[in-house]
C-alpha cells in the first residue's frame, strides 16, 4: 500500500491512478482533515460483493456450511442448473 500527501496526489494524479490500476495496489491519500483510499475499480466491485454476501444471512450460512463441508472432506452436493436457478425459470 502506498501512502502520499494530498499535495503530491494533486500534482501527479494521472500517474497515481495509472500505478494503482497497473499494480493493483491501494494508494492512501492523506490530508490534514483525514485520508482516503484509491483502489482499482475491479477490487472495489469484489469488496462490495463480499460485503453483500456477508450481510445476507442465507448467503453467509451457505458459505459457512460449504467451508465446513470442505474442511471435513464431505462430498459436494451439486445441483442441476434447473435446481440452482429454479426461481428464474418461471
Query: Would you write out the chain's pLDDT as a tens digit for each of its 90 residues?
Result: 899 999 999 999 999 999 999 999 999 999 999 999 999 999 999 999 999 988 999 888 988 988 898 899 887 777 788 887 777 766
Could you tell me if 56 and 33 lie in one domain? no
Q: Residue 26: which domain range?
A: 2-40
**pTM of this structure:** 0.64
Which residues, including other chains, have CB under 8 Å from residue 3's CB and lie 6 or more apart?
27, 28, 30
Do 5 and 35 form a contact (C-beta atoms < 8 A)? no
Could you tell me if 28 and 52 lie in one domain? no
Q: What is the rounded CA–CA span in Å between residue 16 and residue 10? A: 9
Look at residue 87 in the predicted model and tell me its pLDDT.
76
Could you tell me if 32 and 48 lie in one domain? no
Look at residue 90 in the predicted model and tell me its pLDDT.
63
CATH number for the domain including 26? Answer: 3.40.1620.10
Amino acid at each position: 500500500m502506498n501512502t502520499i500527501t494530498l499535495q503530491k496526489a494533486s500534482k501527479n494524479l494521472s500517474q497515481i491512478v495509472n500505478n494503482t490500476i497497473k499494480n493493483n495496489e491501494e494508494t492512501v491519500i492523506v490530508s490534514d482533515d483525514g485520508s482516503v483510499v484509491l483502489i482499482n475499480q475491479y477490487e472495489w466491485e469484489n469488496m462490495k460483493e463480499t460485503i453483500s454476501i456477508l450481510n445476507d444471512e442465507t448467503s453467509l450460512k451457505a458459505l459457512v456450511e460449504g467451508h465446513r463441508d470442505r474442511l471435513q472432506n464431505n462430498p459436494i452436493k451439486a445441483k442441476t442448473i434447473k435446481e440452482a436457478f429454479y426461481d428464474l425459470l418461471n
